[in-house]
Amino acid sequence: MRVLITGANGQLGKDLALYGKQVADVFALGKDQLDITKGSEVSQVIHSVTPDIIIHAAAYTAVDLCEVEQKRAFDINSLGALNIAKKAKEINAKMVYISTDYVFSGDKGAPYVEEDTPNPKSVYGMSKWLGEQIVQSTIEESYIIRTSWLYGSGGNNFAKTMLKLAEQKKEVHVVNDQIGSPTYTKDLSKIIFQLIKKRYGIYHVSNLGQCSWFTFARHIFKIAGYDSNLIKPISTKAYGAKAPRPAYSVLAHIELEKEDIPIPRYWEEAIIEFIREELQRD
């Protein structure tokens, strides 16, 4: 099985490549090797690699910057997905598109199931939802995998930021009225490689449980051995981020259960493993 991974320099791409090399012949390409916004380059690379499966992890995920750089957001998250999907179909390869909980408004007040209709509030969310629709309408042999609040060793993320701030021993204000499920890229990567053997469709994949960013931050401080009381709550409105976020974007795992795929462990367990590895690395 030949697997092409886009966005290989991102935190998910790195863990996908590490896990994938245990079970497949992996070609992991970063932006320098594959610019997904250039159709001719996508065509050349895909025809050269001739993968059986393309895991499309490349994305523009700077949520607030997407509000400013709207064209870039849609070029990467939507047009880039179209370029990949067209060539995947052309060579009869399967495609996996990594999407986000931010395709939902957050107004439901209960975990989102795969059949819920997206209604994104941000440009980032809109660009990813358009990407979903493009992939589904272009290639039938595709998987849409929505995930949430990603963190991993291979890139910048909230968990790493909290660890750095913890060392400074200063007060940190963190939003306490957004609820979601932190998801470890290692756990997500394993599930993706299980899913590519299952039926096509939309799947929600996140670690079990839910929390606010505030609770997540305090847990990180505590596990790492720092004073969790340095984390202070702040409202989304007071924080003043440029892009609107869903207030409640917990994902239900209905389709994973139908396929008898174990749901990833609770987020509290996953973050312990991540922090231990980060502290050992330091």
Which residues participate in catalysis according to the annotation?
124
User: Please, is 46 exposed, middle or buried when counting C-beta atoms within 10 Å of its C-beta (0-12, 13-18, 19+)?
Assistant: buried
Instruction: Give the pair of three-digit tokens for residue 92.
Output: 């009869």
DSSP 151-205: E-TTS--HHHHHHHHHHHT--EEEE-S-EE--EEHHHHHHHHHHHTTS--EEEE-
Please report the sign of the dihedral spanned by the C-alpha atoms of residue 159, residue 29, residue 86, residue 62. Answer: positive
The partner residues of 208 in beta bridges, in order of sequence, read 266
The partner residues of 212 in beta bridges, in order of sequence, read 179
